[in-house]
Structure 1
Amino acid sequence: MKGLTLAELQQLPATVDLLTAARALGLGRTKAYELAKKGEFPCRIIRVGVAYLVPTAELLKLLGVESQSGGKP
């Protein structure tokens, strides 16, 4: 699975699906779901029904990337 570029990371919406977060972290699909099910995914996960969502702000913080706006209006 190909990782995300800095520009792609900065364009992400408020939450992303587990596979997008995994891609950003360089994790494969199987490993991502395994960690999510164990509660060991490196970012907070929001469970919506059967879907896993990851807050983009937390993902970017983990990766040491600032959002495009840099927190400014």
Structure 2
Amino acid sequence: MSTEGMTHEELMALPVTVPLETANRALMIGRTTGYSLAKRGAYPVPLLPGRRGYVVSRYHLHRYLGVAAPEAGEASSEAA
């Protein structure tokens, strides 16, 4: 089964916290691998306890992936 990642726009539109499944997709980690890493304490970003399992902060995902929102007044690469 192939893992499909997220576009930059999808990453920027994430809520403040996301479930582990969404973080797995953003990091292009398969479901089984993601849950295994979380269980072993080896997930690539910090995990937070949620009501139904782990959640991941958007901040940590963005930081790990090296993505940032365009600065105010900065032209997007599509407009150039």
Q: Same fold (TM over 0.5)?
A: yes
User: CA separation in 2, counterparts of 1:60 and 1:14?
Assistant: 11
User: CA separation in 2, counterparts of 1:69 and 1:28?
Assistant: 32
Cα distance, 1:50 vs structure 2: 4.1
One-letter code of the match for 1:37?
K
**Structure 2: gaps spanning 5 or more residues:** 73-80
Normalization by structure 2: what TM-score?
Answer: 0.79
One-letter code of the match for 1:9?
L
**Structure 1: gaps spanning 5 or more residues:** none
Larger Rg: 2
Size of the aligned set, in residue pairs, is 70
CA contact (8 A) 1:45 1:53 kept: yes
| Alignment map for 1:10-21 (pairs within 5 Å) | 10-21=12-23
User: CA separation in 1, counterparts of 2:46 and 2:69?
Assistant: 18
Match of 1:16, SS state, is strand
Cα distance, 1:68 vs structure 2: 5.7
Aligned sequence identity (%):
41
Query: Which string of whole-angstrom CA distances, capped at 9 and with x for unpartnered residues, describes residues 17-52 of structure 1?
Result: 101111111100000000000010000000124411
Q: Which runs of 4+ in 1 moved over 4 A?
A: none
> How big is the alpha-carbon RMSD for the aligned residues of Structure 1 and Structure 2?
1.6
User: CA separation in 2, counterparts of 1:8 and 1:27?
Assistant: 16
The equivalent residue for 1:47 is 49
